Structure 1
Amino acid sequence: MAGKQWFKISSWDVDNNKAGSVTPFQAMINPTGYAIERTVSMSKRGKCDGRVGEALTLEDLVLDGTGVVPGPTGSAQSVEAQLDDLMAVVQIAPSGEKMVYPVVELVWGSLYYLGRVTSLTTKYTLFAPDGIPLRARVSMKIEEYIPDTDAVADSADAATMTKQLQVDAGMRLPELCFAAYGDAGMAAAVARFNGLTSMRNVAAGTSIDCP
């Protein structure tokens, strides 16, 4: 039986297609669930470009500061300290003369998601006698990350060209697709192309054909 997996959210280095340098946030208590909304933009006449947008809503991520619940590291941490760690990953940051929302990577079990946190709500639910928060619930909405690049290849080229990539230890198919195409959303299509039954559990050393 596999060991318990903790929900983790990390910054994502867009330029280098890998996790960023900011220390990841790892939950002390896993979320109660999440929802994925898929939407399509269309004209009044029902025309669209065929792309489906996604947004993930994370429900009730509990921050516990009572000291009763052992976290992934086994040490207690205050609610505010946990919230600071989370905000360090998801908050807007300067980029040149502009402020940008960073891309984040969510990993939990079979969930792998790249996106930008567009809303974050913190509800404080338990307090010490002096008013210090002992428990809070965080809800977030993460919009799918779509690289601001041209198409991966011309359709004619894509039909005739295939490159082979190797799956490294610990790598998930969405990560490989992000490296190959700049779009983790290609994972389902690549899995079908290679006859894979899972996008999440691909053995290290497997050769993947990327059209």
Structure 2
Amino acid sequence: MKTRALLFLLLLPLYLTAQNNLRERNFFLNLGAEFRITPIHKSGDQAIASNFINTDLQNSGPAINVGLDYYLLQNFSVGFKTSIRYDSITIKVDETDPGSGMNYETGRGLMFGYHFNLNYHFQIFNKGDLLVNAGLSLLNRNSEYVRTKSIFNAEGEVVDSTTSSDNYNLNANKISIGYGKGRSKIMMGIYISRNTKYFEEKTAFIIPFICYGFDIVKF
């Protein structure tokens, strides 16, 4: 009996370690922080009057990430992540005063991002894995603002106004590479888009980032 109990105590840590390393058919809830670096785009693109916001400022800075990954295989997973940022936003734009031109207000508020990811672990290190991630990101959600414009008659006189809503929603392809060990991972990557509401013409818009994540729960 004592021999069996001793054997159980010796094998229990090995069993728990093996269970912790098994990812296939398991969900992992993760939490992390991300820092987005100043976007890369043509220098002349920033000087567009219709922006009503500093494009570089709105798309750089810290974010909090909360996500869920499901491992179809030991080294391959699909995931969904939400990012939360507190940053500059446009509140409203008023173009009805012909004497002062465009009047607009800016402030700070919460913006959200929704990320759909494919992840793969390459076990090429003695300790830790090389991580590769690719997916689609829906950025700057909750960036809506109200814009009011004047309506003119044939003589160029203001006869009415119209109000509409606009936003800075940005859809981007996301690719990243990094290193993972145990529950922790650090990644570097870029968001890439050629179709944003910041610019009148389609142009490459790239947001570099670095992020850290930690798997807090496995189930």
TM-score by length of 2: 0.26
Larger RCO, structure (CA 8 Å, separation 6 or more): 2
Which structure is higher in strand share? Answer: 2
TM-score (norm 1): 0.27
Structure of larger gyration radius: 2
